[in-house]
Homo-oligomer: A and B are copies of this chain.
Amino acid sequence: MILTFAGGVGGAKLAHGLSLCLAPAELMIAVNTGDDFEHLGLHVSPDIDTVMYTLGGCADRERGWGRSGETWNFMEALERLGGETWFKLGDRDIATHVERTRRLRNGEMLSAVTADFAEKLGVRHAIAPMSDAPVRTRVHTDEGDLDFQDYFVRRACKPRVRAVEYFGARDAAPAGPLNRAMSSPDLRGIVICPSNPLLSIAPILAVAGLRDWLSRRKVPAIAVSPLINGAAIKGPAAKILRETGMGANCSSIAQFYCGLIDGLIVDPGDVAGTRPPEGMQILSADILMRDDADRKRLAQVALDFISRLKSRR
């Protein structure tokens, strides 16, 4: 079994690629919930939905979020009633939030609701939130401290980031499905998807016991760089890495994952400039995922890398 950590769009793409290479029992996708928030009284889990819609074949590929063939009549009617419209929710998408909120209020775990929704959408591989307990990413900026979606959507990532905090993470245990994968004798490797390190992967690593477990793991772990030539494919990763002083380059990514991974996959153009910590191998591969074939190809590269690292361990 392969355990993968995923955040937003890039993470969903590689997770999808892995699902095209592995049987359902061979993959567990643990997803960041630091971006989750209550909006309009509804529990919204943006990263879970992006992964779920992507694997369910109903994600919008142009927009990068929400569902394909979406309509916006809810939003239009909400605007007329004076409701908040800075966070866009499509007519189909809102069914996810309404029904999830209802079930959570009814006492169900987010992991149970996620597993059920994914199955209903035709996803055969396991998707789980990193934790069933709330973790909320908060961004400290030069314009004050902002809730994640305030920073990410409402302010369009414009304020300068000083630090990122993951409220609740210390007290949040890994969700049941993730916990079972972590202790499974069948676990043969870990893949950290090309998601934003500070916004998507760090909240997962902050979950109680997870970083410690990852540093002591007996199986190989690798990550895929979210940067190509110092720029993110999508999103503010490069900007935030610069603003926090880490640097928008693959050496910073390697340093960020120091002690947690055995190998890092970087774009061919980044190999020469990447200085990994001792013991971390760098693998060169085309990491841009333009289509399903790219997703599957990169996933297979990651899986082969893990197999090679395993034989060395």
- Residues of A in contact with B (beta carbons under 8 Å apart): 40-42, 67, 70-71, 73-78, 80-83, 90-96, 98-99, 101-102, 105, 116-117, 120-121
Contacts and interface: CB of A to CB of B under 8 A. Distances in A.
Q: Copies of this chain, how many?
A: 2
Contacts of A70: 73
Nearest to A101: B41
B71 A102 contact: no
Contacts of A98: 40-42, 74, 78, 83, 94, 98
Given A81-B117, A120-B81, A120-B82, A71 B99 contact: no
A76 B92 CA distance: 8
The main secondary structure of chain A at its interface with chain B is helix
A112 to B, nearest CB: 12
23 contacts: A40-B102, A41-B98, A71-B71, A71-B73, A73-B73, A73-B90, A74-B95, A77-B93, A77-B94, A77-B96, A78-B95, A78-B98, A78-B99, A81-B95, A81-B99, A81-B117, A81-B120, A81-B121, A82-B116, A82-B120, A83-B95, A83-B98, A91-B91
Contacts of A42: 98
A117 B83 CA distance: 10
A73 B73 CA distance: 9
A-B pairs, top 8 by smallest CB distance, nearest first, are A77-B95, A77-B92, A41-B102, A78-B95, A73-B91, A91-B91, A83-B99, A73-B92
